Structure 1
Amino acid sequence: MTPPLERHSRPYAASSALGPSKAEVPQARDTRLDVFRAICLLMIFVNHVPGQYLEHLTSKNFGFSDSAEAFVLISGLSAGLAYGRKFVPGKRTATAIKIWRRAFTLYVAHIMTSIITLAIFAGGALYFGRQDLVGEINIRPLVDRTEQGIVAMVLLGHQLGYNNILSMYAIVLLALPGMLFLRNVSSKLLLLVSGAIWLGAGIFQIVPINFLDEGYWFLNPFSWQFLFAIGIVCMMRAHEGRSLPRHPVLIGLAGAYVICSLLWVTGSWWNIDLSFGLPAVLTGFDKTFLSTPRLLHVLALGYLCAVLPAVSRWSSLPVGHPLVRIGRHSLPIFILGTILAMLGQVLLFVTGHDPVWGTVFVMAGIGLHFAYARYLDWLGALSKPPAAIAA
């Protein structure tokens, strides 16, 4: 959730769905997307090491949606920012190729993190003599059916637990040129088509399947693309100089929904049935198909962040701020967080799920996030001319 939807004086760097390339980082940079993206990255890391104390402080404990929804919304905003004004007649093919190259990068990163995850859990099983580790996070089918499992993993037909975000992003990015084309025709048309796909996927359970079992993807790209498309439309609206309406009624409704969601989650009101026989995608809390309560929650939070000046002022941090660094290097930071989270899960497993050990590890991991982002900044500065460094 981030407030880039209003007009501001400073230009923003073009950034892709998982962060900008070094060539796209200008000297004057609106840092708000970076700040909120960094917060999401840190919360994703914390949530991916379940069973430690810091997990209880992340956003998933205070509302229907969590850091994943926020991150996809921010990614849609970033994609609109990076590619929206470039996807014009005469440049569409070049822009589409650039987008698809980015999607392939995410695919390669997904395969790499999956292989490293296998190595971490297999190494833990060997070193600690805990063969039951290979029964965790959906690894067992790969062990039992290795030949089929390798093919399935490469073809995205088998996903390990906590290694399912990048694959979803890659599929959504493949569809981004089509989204931008529809948006150039009409924002309403893009939202209508995207919303219809989201609704159809939820009602008819249309979702990529896993080859080795009877399951399916944990994050359904046919559902999550709708949130991504909403981000694109909002950012392109800002490009056109049209800010979001700041009507007190809208602010009140968004605030009331956020508070209701907070009370619902903290009060564990899950036994209340308000489905009225409607499809689960409209009334449930399913993450795979991005049910309406989750979708509305992240949109309400995003709207409040966009229209409340205090949030905008707070998140406009200097370019050299540690949070900005993390958000600016989001793909390598995300990869680091995934690897550290897998190590943390093994540590918790072999220590009997001791939350103290887990908390210490996660705190150290957060520190490594900041250190790695600083290193990436330093590494990038080595390749810049002295004049750019001085600026």
Structure 2
Amino acid sequence: MNELTSEARTAGPFCWLGVSQMHDRITIPMSATGELPQLKDHGRDLRIDACRGIALWWIFLDHIPNNIGSWLTLRNYGFSDAAEIFMFVSGVTCALAYGAAWRREGWSGVISRTLRRSWDIYVAFLVVTLACAILVHLTGRLADESNTRVLLDDPGAALARAAVLQYRPVNTDVLPAFVLLHLLFAPLLWLLLRAPKATLGASLALYASVHAFGWTVPAWPDGHWAFNPLAWQLLVVLGAWWMIDGKTVQPWVTSRTTRVLAVLFLLVSLVIALSWQIGPLQALIPTGQAKLLYSVDKSNLDPLRLLHFLAIAVVAAWLVPRNWRGLATPVMRAAASCGQNSLPIYCLGVILTFASQALLETSGGLAMQIALSLAGIAAMIAAATLLNSISTKRWQRS
């Protein structure tokens, strides 16, 4: 989840926000076997880090139930939310980081790095699982809401299931999904380099099969994955595919017709999403369509969520250039700092969510919601700043 190497952070384009600017920085491969894009040095592109950092803030705000802070996120204004952004950008950064490792060290380097990163995420998942159980035990609250009651009642069985990624407390599901996706990224990269369109087609076929046949990965105790890896893999593959074969779709993405359709879709989804929260707006939606639209499935990445994210990507690519001045503001730099340390910051966000939810059960007023939202984001920024400072000192010594 923090895949960017220093090389990738320096040269890598931010594909989610910068697809329209990629043509002047990347040479798309033309050989049959394929090569990763040769990235030119145009300085550090903060859009990758800033986007992932903002997604981490939004995920934290969204995970706190009945939190006024969630109105600052995407969740209430369309079908998708920060999770789609996070997954897609992870595919981009994986292609950049592991692609750089492939050029320097060959496939043995890619495999060793993906295995090591998978292990890091796996260990982080187990640590967060134990931390959640300890918090629930100390506070005496949220055992059912956090899905930790089974861990407290039968720790042996629950920990054994967690060790094989079948048991997950609430808000930790994305970590096992990333463990699996990193484990498989080396063969995915190999396929993308040789047959990018066919690989993307296979990913789309797997995604379609999930919706057609209900395919999923085993889970315990209720068989439910909040992030079914068989469906969410599509966003990671899309991000990696764009870095390798994005020239194919670039003219379509930057066309006026696509932009108009994307804006119209976002406006319609805005009205529908607000109708979930504002009763009078429900009258604008026919009864037949309302039942379908109000049950947008996140676990299996509902097609409406996927389309909504793609529309956001098109509009963002249009409106946010690589040299956007806003990236130099303190808020964007703080977000970039969090994005550069995505794995520890995500884990910290999960712990802060549990603590905030426990506090809100004792005092759930508006002032407390605002205070906890601001304090949580401030803690994430402080932790990221400290981690960057430690990394800088280690680099200077070496």
| Root mean square deviation of aligned Cα | 3.1
What amino acid is aligned across from residue 73 of structure 1 in structure 2? Answer: F
Q: Is the 8 A contact 1:32 1:315 kept in 2?
A: no
- Name the one with the larger helix percent: 2
Distance 2:152 2:57 in 1: 31
Paired residues for 1:136-285 under 5 Å: 136-211=145-220, 213-237=221-245, 245-268=253-276, 269=282, 272-274=287-289, 285=296
CA offset at residue 74 of structure 1? 1.0
Spell out, residue by residue over 1:104-131, the C-alpha distance to the aligned partner (whole angstroms, 9 max, x if none): 1111111111110111111101xxxxxx
Which of 36, 42, 48 pairs up with 2:57? Answer: 42
Distance 1:275 1:47 in 2: 24
Deviation at 1:338, TM superposition (A): 1.4
Distance apart, 1:249 and its partner CA: 0.3
Deviation readout 1:310-361 (Å, 9 max, x if unpaired)? 586255438992222111122221122111111111112233x444323211
Moved more, 54-63 or 286-295: 54-63
Query: Is residue 121 of structure 2 the alignment partner of residue 106 of structure 1?
Result: yes
Q: Which moved more, 1:231-240 or 1:295-304?
A: 231-240
Q: 1:29-87, CA deviations, whole angstroms, 9 ceiling, x for partnerless residues?
A: 11111111111010011111122211222110001000011111111111122123544
Unaligned runs of 5+ in 2: 1-14, 27-40, 277-281
1:198 is paired with a residue of what secondary structure? helix
- Structure 2 Cα separation of the partners of residues 312 and 263 of structure 1: 32
Aligned residue among 345, 349, 353 for 2:361: 349
User: TM-score, normalized by length of structure 2?
Assistant: 0.82
Give the equivalent residue in structure 2 for 1:293.
304
Q: Distance in 1 between matches of 2:383 and 2:162?
A: 28
State the match for 1:335 in structure 2: 347
Change (3 A) 1:35 1:184: same
> 1-side partners of 2:231 and 2:174: how far apart?
13
Give the partner amino acid of 1:188. Answer: K
* Equivalent position SS for 2:328: coil
Indicate yes or no: 2:369 matched with 1:358.
yes
Matched to 1:287, the amino acid is K
Q: 1:313 aligns with which of 324, 328, 334?
A: 324
Distance 1:32 1:10, change over 3 A: farther
Contact 2:74/2:82, CA 8 A, preserved across alignment: yes
SS at match of 1:287: coil
Worse-matched range after superposition: 298-307 or 26-35: 26-35
Corresponding residue pairs, total: 361
Tell me how far apart the structure 1 counterparts of residues 190 and 112 of structure 2 sit (CA, whole Å): 14
- The 8 Å contact of residues 262 and 315 in structure 2, kept in 1 or not, is answered as yes
The unaligned stretches of length 5 or more in structure 1 are 12-25, 126-131
> Counterparts in 2 of 1:360-375, with a 5 A limit?
360-375=371-386
- Paired residues of 1:81 and 1:236 also in contact (CA < 8 A): no
Matched residues, percent identical?
26
Alignment partners' CA distance in 2, 1:293 and 1:160: 27
- Corresponding residue to 1:62 among 66, 73, 77: 77
| Residues 1:93 and 2:108 are matched in the alignment | yes
> In structure 1, what is the Cα distance between the partners aligned to 2:323 and 2:301?
27
Deviation at 1:101, TM superposition (A): 1.2
Pair 1:2 & 2:13 matched: no
Q: Is contact 2:203-2:237 (8 Å) kept?
A: yes
- Aligned-pair CA distance for 1:283: 11
CA shift for structure 1 position 2: 2.9
Contact 2:98 2:113 (C-alpha < 8 Å) held by counterparts: no
Q: Does 1:384 align with 2:384?
A: no
Aligned residue identity for 1:232: A
Matched with 1:18 is none
**Contact 1:3–1:312 (8 Å) recurs in 2:** no
Q: 1:72 aligns with which of 87, 109, 120?
A: 87
CA distance in 2, matches of 1:177, 1:272: 47
Q: Which residue of 2 aligns with 1:14?
A: none
Measured after TM superposition, the shift of residue 27 of structure 1 is 11
Distance change (3 Å), C-alpha of 1:370 and 1:354: same
